[in-house]
Amino acid sequence: MNAIVIGGDGFIGSHIVDQLLELGHKVTVFDRCPYQVTRNLEHQKGAINVISGEFANKIDLKNALYGNDIVFHCVWTSTPISSWNNPYLEVDENIRLSIQLADAAVESGIKKIVFPSSGGTVYGAQHNSRVNESCLPSPFSPYGIAKLAVEHFLNYYRKSANLACDIYRIGNAFGPRQPVSSPQGVISVWMSKILSGEKIIVYGDHETLRDYVYVKDISYLMAYSLADLNESATVNIGSGRGTSIIELLDVFKRVVDIPFQYEIKSRRASDNKSFILDSSLILSYFPNFSFSNLEEKIRETWQYFREEK
């Protein structure tokens, strides 16, 4: 089928592109790609159709969407930290433009829109050891509130315009192609600071648990959306393993091959204490799948960062 990835030259988007091509689909990438030069997809040159445009420009979007069956919405301009003191950023850039994308998708004849949401922020503080899709979302950060708002708007378009939507609530994604200069997520932030000779700040303790999930595992499981363009689903993608911030620091001590300094501080107001995702639903469709080894993939990511710096 014909698939378009909005933000397809980014971190998660570029891995989705690789996965779609491996499955034999025709792929268009819509991103800021001056002179058709990509950051992460030069190895796929000739195999993809690259359209350079602005996500905020609805005409650019509509022109790119025509002729495609499914769109993967992989553009998000903020991080949980960047929007904590500026919630307007989420409303003006992420919520509004996501609604505009859904409008353009309907007008262009798209059958399904796929949205990578945030399992770590959408659910908020939960008391269950593992959070499944039946748990009531209760986000407390602007980032999570905006992600949940977009989920609800996509369900509105499902009802009002028959636009199918798949929503993936993803854990702490990490892996190659995370931007070195503007990192997001603790793993990439720490790596970037270590390579710059800066001290890393460890926010939390042994009870500060996160569900780290390798980006290629994410893109592999998101291929589920291609099975049926008429069906909609909301599913978690997380390893199901809780790793404390102190355990993560110990992994870094084993993997990082240059000296680094660190300081341990209390959790910030924007930090969730603990979350682990139950991914039983998506795994029921991939019975032979198993998540990658955390330490092995952090080592791989570190090598990527060293080469890119």
CB 117 within 8 A of CB 95: no
Using pLDDT thresholds of 50, 70 and 90, give the confidence band for residue 182.
confident
Q: Kindly report the pTM of this predicted structure.
A: 0.96
DSSP state of 255: H
C-alpha span between 35 and 300 (Å, rounded):
30
If pLDDT is split at 50, 70 and 90, which confidence band does 34 have?
confident
Percent of the chain whose pLDDT exceeds 90: 90
**How sure is the predictor about 128, in pLDDT bands with cuts at 50, 70 and 90?**
low
User: pLDDT tens digit string along 214-261?
Assistant: 999 999 999 999 999 999 999 999 999 999 999 999 999 999 999 999
Does the structure show a pLDDT above 80 at 167? yes
What integer best gives the mean pLDDT of the chain? 95
Domains recognised in the chain with CATH numbers = 2-174+213-238+276-289 (3.40.50.720)
pLDDT value at residue 267: 92
Helices within the chain (DSSP H only): 11-22, 58-65, 88-89, 96-107, 119-122, 142-161, 186-195, 215-222, 245-255, 280-283, 294-308
Residue 43 reports pLDDT greater than 80: yes
State the average pLDDT over residues 84-102. Answer: 96
Asked if 303 contacts 296 with a C-beta cutoff of 8 angstroms, the reply is: no
Average pLDDT value for residue range 99-127: 95
pLDDT greater than 80 at residue 117: yes
Give residue 211's pLDDT. Answer: 96
Span 255-289, pLDDT tens digits:
999 999 999 999 988 888 888 999 999 999 999 99
- pLDDT band for position 122 (cuts 50, 70, 90): very high
d(CA 190, CA 192): 5
Q: CA 158, CA 146: separation in Å to the nearest integer?
A: 18
Mean pLDDT of 26-33: 96
The residues near 307 (Cβ < 8 Å, ≥ 6 apart) are none
Q: Which pLDDT score is estimated for 129? A: 72
